[in-house]
């Protein structure tokens, strides 16, 4: 798939045009210079053609952070097939922009000069001033007023390969649906052979999500090393890393293929104490919560070189709130006391009891220590999170558990568990069909959960129970 990079100085409207291409508010936009710091990547459909759009940080100078942002933006331009060099039409052309435009033009890419903020007819004459850049591929637009956007979209579409529509593809490959039906029939026959004792009103609710696509949110407070961890996982400087707290503002993501799985890493904004959240970071916190709702698995990143904080607990609570699979990553292990492994892990277990199911791994994003192990653990945890236990095996395990420890009575009333069935995945959710659902004490739920964890591999995933009467939905 071809790549389109949007390049330009801060506050020229790059992220707004990025959102316009995606037809949604994905990138955070603000009047504050430097809102976009990392390169955001999303696939957009321009007319009838697909392209991967790269929203880059503003090309500015003056600090170490801005220098890193600029470096990332230029690197994105080198990777792209199409470059949109965007300028602010309310200002006069400057020599620095002209020089950079010619440097990018020398790369031999398809390139257009986009003069944004031409908000009305009177401002159209401003576009003429930019012809001194020496290009004829120039577009005067207004993203905020949605003016003159179509000619630019048409130009972009001409640079992209045509994608056959669904009807055309079906006509070209008439046997595709027959093959799919054969596979579906084979799957149904295999499922029937396993046998089941479902109640006629019980139904397995398959997740709409593809179990082979893992969305991994990297979450933690500021400066615990989330962006460094993402860079280490990808083996490249994908995120801007700086000692400035809150460097990552807009959650960014990167998708890779690994062992027949598609893994999308989301580097979320670091979370501060409520009283310290200012300005644009309020949007970042909201966006982080939104991204967690779409994630399957969370890497809770903690700083192993210093004591854990109450804020770490509160952030971990977001994982529990969203019922995500989880791994606890103790970063900066190269700076942690060498002989305190058992002590530190015990502190994690004591402090994050509600994430008791999450494995703990010690890493150093800086030295790449044990980073390679994270991939195998992510894939295994996703398999656990997505697994479906057949009703027969599930009830065998529960029968064994109840022989070890029968269900306690409630006010002298006998509590009976007739059978259990898994009704959803991601996370695994199990219905317990009982005579008196309210009589199931939470301590016995915990006992059953522990027994199932011994019988099946549910490491890294929450396990949810729903007690209900026969025939109850």
Give me the residue spans of the domains in the chain: 3-158, 213-386, 391-468
For the stretch 263-300, pLDDT in tens is 998 877 555 545 444 443 444 455 667 778 889 999 99
Q: Is 225 annotated as a binding residue?
A: yes
Domain 391-468 has CATH 3.30.300.20: yes
Q: Is 226 annotated as a binding residue?
A: yes
Q: Is 13 annotated as a binding residue?
A: yes
Q: Is 268 annotated as a binding residue?
A: yes
Q: Is 207 annotated as a binding residue?
A: no
Q: Is 228 annotated as a binding residue?
A: no
Question: Does residue 192 register a pLDDT over 60?
Answer: no
Q: Is 121 annotated as a binding residue?
A: no
pLDDT of residue 331: 96
Please, where are the H alpha helices in 195-326? 226-234, 280-294, 310-321
Q: Is 12 annotated as a binding residue?
A: yes
Residue predicted with more confidence, 162 or 111: 111
Is the whole model's pTM more than 0.75, yes or no? no
Q: Is 466 annotated as a binding residue?
A: no
Question: Does residue 99 register a pLDDT over 80?
Answer: yes
Q: Is 15 annotated as a binding residue?
A: yes
Q: Is 331 annotated as a binding residue?
A: yes
pLDDT of residue 430: 95
Q: Is 55 annotated as a binding residue?
A: yes
Please, where are the H alpha helices in 121-198? 125-129, 149-158, 166-172, 176-194
Domain 3-158 has CATH 3.40.50.300: yes
Q: Is 62 annotated as a binding residue?
A: no
Q: Which CATH architecture has domain 213-386?
A: 3-Layer(aba) Sandwich (3.40)
Sign of torsion over alpha carbons 146, 151, 157, 159: negative
Residue listed under structure tokens 């009976």: 416
* Nearest-angstrom CA–CA distance, 446 and 369: 35
For the stretch 27-69, pLDDT in tens is 444 444 444 446 788 889 998 899 999 988 767 655 445 567 7
pLDDT of residue 32: 44
Question: Does residue 316 register a pLDDT over 50?
Answer: yes
Give the strand pairing for 213-219 and 252-258. unpaired
* Domains 3-158 and 213-386 belong to one CATH topology: yes
SS3 category, 167: helix
């Amino acid at each position: 798939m071809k790549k389109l990079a949007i390049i330009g100085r801060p506050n020229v409207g790059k992220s707004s045009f990025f959102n316009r291409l995606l037809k949604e508010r994905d990138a955070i936009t603000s009047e504050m210079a430097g809102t976009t710091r990392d390169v955001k990547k999303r696939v957009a459909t321009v007319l009838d053609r697909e392209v991967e759009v790269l929203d880059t940080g503003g090309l500015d100078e003056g600090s170490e952070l801005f220098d890193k942002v600029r470096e990332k933006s230029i690197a994105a331009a080198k990777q792209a097939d199409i470059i949109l060099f965007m300028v602010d039409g309310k200002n006069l052309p400057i020599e620095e922009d002209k020089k950079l435009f010619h440097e990018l033009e020398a790369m031999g890419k398809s390139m257009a000069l986009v003069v944004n903020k031409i908000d009305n007819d009177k401002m159209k004459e401003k576009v003429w001033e930019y012809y001194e850049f020496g290009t004829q591929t120039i577009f005067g637009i207004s993203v905020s007023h949605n003016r003159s956007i179509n000619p630019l979209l048409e130009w972009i579409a001409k640079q992209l390969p045509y994608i056959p529509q669904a009807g055309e593809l079906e006509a070209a490959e008439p046997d595709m649906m027959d093959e799919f039906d054969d596979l579906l029939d084979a799957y149904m026959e295999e499922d029937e052979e396993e046998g089941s004792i479902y109640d006629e009103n019980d139904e397995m609710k398959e997740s709409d999500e593809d179990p082979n696509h893992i969305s991994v949110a990297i979450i933690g407070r500021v400066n615990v090393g989330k962006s460094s961890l993402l860079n280490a996982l990808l083996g490249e400087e994908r995120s801007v890393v700086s000692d400035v707290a809150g460097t990552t503002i807009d959650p960014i993501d990167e998708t890779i293929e690994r062992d027949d799985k598609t893994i999308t890493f989301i580097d979320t904004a670091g979370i501060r104490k409520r009283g310290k959240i200012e300005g644009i970071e309020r949007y970042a916190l909201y966006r982080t919560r939104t991204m967690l709702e779409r994630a399957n698995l969370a890497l809770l990143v903690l700083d192993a070189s210093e004591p854990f904080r109450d804020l770490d607990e509160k952030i971990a609570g977001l994982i529990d709130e969203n019922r995500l699979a989880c791994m606890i990553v103790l970063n900066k292990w190269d700076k942690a006391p060498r002989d305190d492994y058992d002590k530190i892990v015990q502190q994690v277990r004591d402090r994050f009891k509600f994430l008791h199911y999450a494995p703990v791994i010690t890493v150093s994003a800086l030295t790449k220590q044990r980073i390679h192990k994270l991939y195998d653990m992510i894939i295994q945890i996703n398999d656990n999170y997505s697994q479906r236990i057949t009703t027969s095996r599930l009830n065998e395990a529960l029968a064994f558990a109840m022989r070890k420890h029968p269900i306690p009575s409630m006010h002298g009333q006998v509590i009976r568990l007739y059978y259990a069935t898994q009704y959803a995945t991601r996370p695994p959710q199990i219905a317990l069909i009982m005579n008196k659902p309210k009589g199931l004490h939470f301590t016995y739920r915990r006992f059953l959960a522990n027994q199932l964890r011994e019988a099946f591999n549910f490491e890294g995933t929450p396990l949810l129970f729903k007690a209900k009467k026969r025939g109850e939905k």
